Structure 1
Amino acid sequence: MPRPDTEILVEEVIKRSSDYKNPTIVDVGCGSGAISVTLAKEIEGSRVYALDLMDTPIKVTKINVKRLGVEDRVLVLKSDVFSNLPKDLEGSVDVIVSNPPYIKDEVIPTLMVDVKDYEPYEALSGGWDGLVFYRKIAEDALRFLKRMG
């Protein structure tokens, strides 16, 4: 079940996507696919690229994409951030969304048991300062986003 911050993120993307007709959306670090699938179901005509580096999240996302009937609108790719996103998407993505790991590595052992023992370490670890994935995403996001995306 998505956490409240994920729900807020999805609601904001849905609201802001109303400006785009048939938007192209990239979900970096798709995890279970909750964000990708919800956006595909809620935003008419959207095309969503769900990216993750780990095999288990990719498998889970593919299961959820099929189970919820959005196979025609969600493409799941194994990718380290944008590394395997098709090059023809450069300059044409309307929305990049991500809820990446943001917890400093040194803090993870102090988290509540229902978080640190439930979530995979990779889903929590944002590196030494919690911002590793934010930097990786920011490095290439402008290359893929269209003007005003």
Structure 2
Amino acid sequence: MFILYYKTVSMGGKIYTITLILFFSFLNSNAQTKTVEQETEHATIALLKSKDVDKEDYTAAKPANLNEVALSTENNVTAKRDINISPNPSSHFIQISGLKNTEQYRIYNILGKQIAKGLVSNNATINIENLKKGLYLLKINNANSRKFLKE
């Protein structure tokens, strides 16, 4: 199945024609497509969504920057959660906040060697009394890594 998107946009007194051709060979006859457009001060932002009943959602978007076109699948786009460590620096424990679920964590020293691992949930503490003084990296599944200082 071919999907053709064609749009003429006026920007800064110039007229641009944007043509986007996507080949969705994985879509079947049950596929549904929808185009949503939003006028902005400088351009029209268009979003083309396609839904295969038995598969994933696919999205193609034309941002205001005419040099960029993004194609993504919703199942592959995962934003990592921001977490907080407090107190930082600390000498006895660190408390982790910002988690939705219990996750696996790993602590690495400045040389990249794994020092500790375990499970942590929101507002739980991790004992760091046995770590030497220094800078460490805390990695938690499905969350952004954070540095902390052991005093």
Q: Is this a same-fold pair by TM over 0.5? A: no
Q: Which of 1 and 2 has greater Rg?
A: 2
The interval holding the TM-score normalised by the smaller chain is under 0.3
Larger helix proportion of the pair: 1
Q: Which has the higher contact order (CA 8 A, sep 6+)?
A: 1
TM-score normalised by structure 2 residue count: 0.22
Q: Which has the higher strand share?
A: 2
